[in-house]
Amino acid sequence: MSSKKYITTPIYYVNDVPHIGHAYTTIIADSAARYFRLKGYDTFFLTGTDEHGQKIEEAAKKRGKSPKEYADEISAKFKKLWDEFEISYDKFIRTTDEEHIKGVQKAFEIMYNKGDIYKGEYEGHYCISCEAFFPESQLIDNEFCPDCGKATRIVKEESYFFRLSKYQDRLLELYKNEEEFILPKSKKNEVIRFVEGGLEDLSITRTSFDWGVKLPPSINDPKHVMYVWLDALLNYITALGYGGDEHLMHYWPADYHLVGKDILRFHAVYWPAFLMSLGLDMPKHIATHGWWTRNGEKMSKSKGNVVDPKTVADAYGLENFRYFLLREVPFGQDGDFSQKALIDRINSDLGNDLGNLLNRVIGMSGKYFDFNIKSSDVERYYKDELNEVKKIISGLDELVTKMRWHKFLEELWKILTIANKSIDRYAPWNLMKEQKEEEAMALIALIANILAKTALLLHPVMPKTTEKIADALGFKIDEASFKRFVDDFEMLDEFKIKKVPPLFPKIEEPLMKEASKEEKKSVLDNKTFEDNIITIDEFFKVQIKVGTVIEAEEVKKSKKLLKLKVDLNEERPRQIVAGIKEHYSPAELLGMQVCVVSNLLPAKLMGIKSEGMILAAKDEEGLTLISPQRKVKEGTPVK
């Protein structure tokens, strides 16, 4: 068995400040890293920031900063948060690091020399937000990105391609042979379906912007920068020194790449293919979690429904929050964040089941035995309970190795239930009355042992809280005690119990009453509200003019599109393709005045050129076009 574990989080885009989704991935990875360290594995835990690409270039420009200045600022915010959250990463990589860039260039060169990269031309629908091209067949209504729903742009450019198609069979073999390559297994089929659908070669360079890694000097093609996903995925090996001194490469292959479901395909298809091309081993697991939602909707800044992880941790306690994130949602599924759910977990699981149990042990040991518990009779009196506990504990490691943290905690809590029930059933106060002191002492020792094992097993999720439990019981949490009391199921014969203040005071009401106001305030303070504060000059870059619809017809085979001719008082009418067919018939549009964004780069929708965009508002009742309140001259600017 390998004695090392290499665990990674995705590297976070610096176009956004950290939110609960980012915290979730990082906390799972951190818990895993802490677990494996406690088990004695030589563990390397990597996180960092993804700083290149058009999206970042544009976000920086919006704020009047250079991409590097902007990336420095946001990357520092991620690092600061992870430090405040005591995330135990071993390395924080930035894709603007010199060594990373060198490693990426080296990898490109190797793939190129092998014949896996060639030069060609690309034309396709590109989503800037996802930094990805999508075939027409995958677009929503022939225009919108299937992942994020935003409008795609047609991009045509000279590009280098990676021969992804060449690896189709080997990828399918990988999924077949490595049963647990994708975790949870339920996510595997969608990847297989995607690959079976046929893999096209992947465009891996761009010429339309600058903010990216240049091609290696040996290829000498300065127009191109690398596709951000190629650059980003390679972080998992450049962080180990790939292409440089390689001093950490013994950690490769990764044991767990933690990823959200939106980036599974990049990790389960492109990444293994790149690695095959480089002749490197495959990662062991791509562990895929679901999304945190708010009232059923994915959190995003533009919807204004993001939960700031720092606010939650400050209000409810960092470790309670960690427990909640891991316990609340089965790994791989989506989960809805609410204060109510968080409070229930804290009051019920942590307060009632765990905290009260500790209080009972402290109370009873003080009352009956002056805080000294010494017994080697636990097995003699409580064999059945011990066997049950042993059985549950023996199944826990497998749950961690599959990243099933929710199940792990659920099972772990079963041993607390056994402990709580044993107290009620054997009633130590009666045993004492009946002068069965040995039995009463053994019962308290049973409970204290269950608590000790719980503290050891829960330590990766709640490091400080469990240290406090260990301190109250008089033992230390370390690798040696994990081996003895969990792996080998030894019992502690002696406890010197200490009184400690309650670990989980009851929460009576939501502690983040002002959360949404505060969130908005902090967003405004950072001038990032809605991610799109602009200056008046920037606003005036958008030219909006009033025009009159003079022709309107349906676009065949499209559910949503109409083709219009709009008179803007120019030398000829504009042709505009608009997604309004479900709301307006061609006849009712004729003669109507509309507002047109007139200086938008023309785009093609279903192969038809569109030379502007019509403004509309959409709510639950449907879509309505924006029209001046009285008829104005065609071409009148809107300001």
Q: For ligand MSP, which residue of 77, 298, 402, 583 counts as binding (CB under 6 A)?
A: 298
Helix (H) or strand (E) holding 494: strand 494-496
25 binds ligand MSP (CB under 6 A): yes
22 binds ligand MSP (CB under 6 A): yes
Whether the CB-CB separation of 269 and 194 falls below 8 Å is answered with yes
286 binds ligand MSP (CB under 6 A): no
Candidates 18-26, 240-248, 414-422, 518-526 — which segment interacts with ligand MSP by CB under 6 A?
A: 18-26
DSSP at 579: S
10 binds ligand MSP (CB under 6 A): yes
Q: For ligand MSP, which residue of 5, 6, 7, 12 counts as binding (CB under 6 A)?
A: 12
260 binds ligand MSP (CB under 6 A): yes
275 binds ligand MSP (CB under 6 A): no
In this structure, what are the phi and psi dihedrals at residue 599, rounded to the nearest 5 degrees?
-115, 35
78 binds ligand MSP (CB under 6 A): no
> Minimum Å distance from CB 84 to ligand MSP?
18
Q: For ligand MSP, which residue of 6, 7, 21, 268 counts as binding (CB under 6 A)?
A: 21
CA–CA dist 368, 371 (Å, integer):
8
11 binds ligand MSP (CB under 6 A): yes
Residues 187-246 that bind ligand MSP (CB under 6 A): 232-233, 235
Q: For ligand MSP, which residue of 27, 263, 469, 595 counts as binding (CB under 6 A)?
A: 263
Candidates 147-155, 237-245, 259-267, 389-397 — which segment interacts with ligand MSP by CB under 6 A?
A: 259-267
24 binds ligand MSP (CB under 6 A): yes
13 binds ligand MSP (CB under 6 A): yes
Whether the CB-CB separation of 287 and 315 falls below 8 Å is answered with no
Q: How far is CA 150 from the centre of its chain?
A: 20
299 binds ligand MSP (CB under 6 A): yes
292 binds ligand MSP (CB under 6 A): yes
Which residue has the CB atom at the shortest distance from ligand MSP? 260
C-alpha distance across the termini of the chain, in Å: 69
All residues at 6 or more sequence positions from 192 whose CB lies less than 8 Å from its CB, including other chains: 172, 175
Beta strand extents in 128-196 (DSSP E only): 132-134, 153-162, 182-183
CA angle 136, 140, 143 (to 5 degrees): 65
Q: How far is CA 297 from the centre of its chain?
A: 15
Q: How far is CA 479 from the centre of its chain?
A: 29
Q: For ligand MSP, which residue of 30, 50, 51, 319 counts as binding (CB under 6 A)?
A: 50
CA–CA dist 466, 453 (Å, integer):
10
All residues at 6 or more sequence positions from 349 whose CB lies less than 8 Å from its CB, including other chains: 323, 327, 413
Q: Which is nearer to ligand MSP, 253 or 635 (CB)?
A: 253
Whether the CB-CB separation of 47 and 11 falls below 8 Å is answered with yes
262 binds ligand MSP (CB under 6 A): yes
447 binds ligand MSP (CB under 6 A): no
Q: Which is nearer to ligand MSP, 13 or 35 (CB)?
A: 13
CA–CA dist 287, 260 (Å, integer):
8
CA–CA dist 134, 302 (Å, integer):
23
Q: Which is nearer to ligand MSP, 95 or 205 (CB)?
A: 95
Which residues are at the interface with ligand MSP (CB under 6 A)?
Answer: 10-13, 21-22, 24-25, 50, 232-233, 235, 259-260, 262-263, 291-292, 298-299
